[in-house]
Amino acid sequence: RQCQFVHSYIQARNMSNEVDKAQTAKPQGDTIFGKILRNEIPSVAVWSDDTCYAFRDKFPTAPQHIVLIPRKPITQLSNAKDEDEPLLGHLLNVARKIAKQEKLTDGFRIVINDGKHGAQSVYHLHIHIIGGRQLDWPPG
């Protein structure tokens, strides 16, 4: 498992690629996460309810790396509306519950990348829940 993690971690790091993708990703159209929501692409579910879904990140940057998305296809946090406030609150509350469910008792990090400078690569709003190791600060 450790070996698998190291492999994924190196893979993820080598993908400065994520930032490259973020530079070229377009905030429009359907996304890979839309396909995951529709079960057109498999994912490993961690949480599911009427308004959101969480699954394991395919390229984890830590032993635990979960992606939490609303079923509503909001492209990015900066495009959310005031009327989305209950949804945004729900997502954060679910992130807390997922951290508990996944036994991230020593702490964890919540990340929302927004737009080009935020290195967002998938334009379907998502919250990263990252934990299981000591994380560095500040981020790159």
Question: Is 126 among the residues known to form the active site?
Answer: yes
Size of the site for ligand TR5 (CB under 6 A): 14
Q: Judge whether 127 and 24 are in contact, CB under 8 Å.
A: no
Q: Which residues contact 46 (CB under 8 A, 6 or more apart)?
A: 54, 55, 56, 66, 98, 101, 102
Q: Which of 7, 17, 30, 41 binds ligand TR5 (CB under 6 A)?
A: 41
Q: Judge whether 94 and 58 are in contact, CB under 8 Å.
A: no
Q: Is 18 in the site for ligand TR5 (CB under 6 A)?
A: yes
Pick the stretch among 2-10, 82-90, 92-100, 116-124 that binds ligand TR5 (CB under 6 A): 116-124
For the window 47-76, what string marks contact with ligand TR5 as x by the rule CB under 6 A? Answer: ----------xxx-------x---------
C-beta of 18: minimal distance to ligand TR5 in Å? 5
CA-CA distance, 13 to 18, in Å (whole number)?
9
C-beta of 138: minimal distance to ligand TR5 in Å? 17
Q: How many CA atoms lie within 13 A of 100 on its CB side?
A: 6
Please report, as ranges, the residues that interact with ligand TR5 according to CB under 6 A: 18, 22, 32, 41, 43, 57-59, 67, 113, 119-122
Catalytic positions are 126
